[in-house]
């Protein structure tokens, strides 16, 4: 979940956070060139789509999603799991509008499993 503290605690400009994420992806690839990197969108935060920090996360996500054009990067955005049809995060999902509850972590893991399994299968 790289980037979430940059956008939340420090409110770094989106391009700076995206550059940092890109550098991490580059460093992992340089050190372990045969590995596949699963790059996850920064999760939504704040109550709704108008929240400034949510907008910041979305801008970073737009900037880092093209990293998936690299053959060793797999992009996944599961943010739909945490918001309703109007983009609202219910307190029953994330009490602090940032950290999922135990049930949501389970849903997140279940949603990640097919992608991780496919990546592992292709690695063998």
Task: Walk me through the domains of the chain, giving residue ranges and CATH numbers.
Answer: 4-123 (3.40.50.1110)
Q: Who has greater pLDDT, 34 or 1?
A: 34
Neighbours of 105 (CB within 10 A): 11
Chain centroid to CA 96: 18
In the predicted structure, residue 1 carries a pLDDT above the cut 80:
no
**Closest C-alpha among 77, 104, 76 to residue 90:** 104
Secondary structure of residue 73 in the 3-state scheme: strand
> What pTM does this model have?
0.92
pLDDT value of residue 115: 95
> What are the C-alpha distances in Å from 88 to residues 37, 64, 72?
29, 23, 33
pLDDT for 8 equals 84
Give the SS3 label for residue 110.
Answer: helix
pLDDT band, residue 123 (cuts 50/70/90) = confident
What's the average model confidence in pLDDT over 21-41? 97
């Amino acid at each position: 979940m790289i980037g979430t503290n940059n956008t939340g605690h420090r409110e770094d400009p989106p391009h700076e956070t995206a550059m940092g994420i890109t550098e991490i992806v580059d460093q992992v690839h340089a050190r372990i060139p045969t590995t596949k990197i699963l790059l996850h969108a920064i999760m939504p935060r704040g109550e709704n789509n108008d929240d400034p920090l949510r907008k910041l996360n979305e801008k970073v996500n737009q900037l880092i999603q093209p990293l998936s054009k690299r053959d060793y990067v797999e992009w996944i955005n599961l943010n739909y799991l945490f918001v309703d049809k109007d983009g609202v995060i219910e307190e029953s999902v994330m009490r602090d509008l940032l950290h999922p509850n135990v049930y949501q972590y389970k849903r997140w893991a279940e949603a990640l499993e097919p992608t991780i399994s496919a990546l592992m299968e292709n690695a063998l």
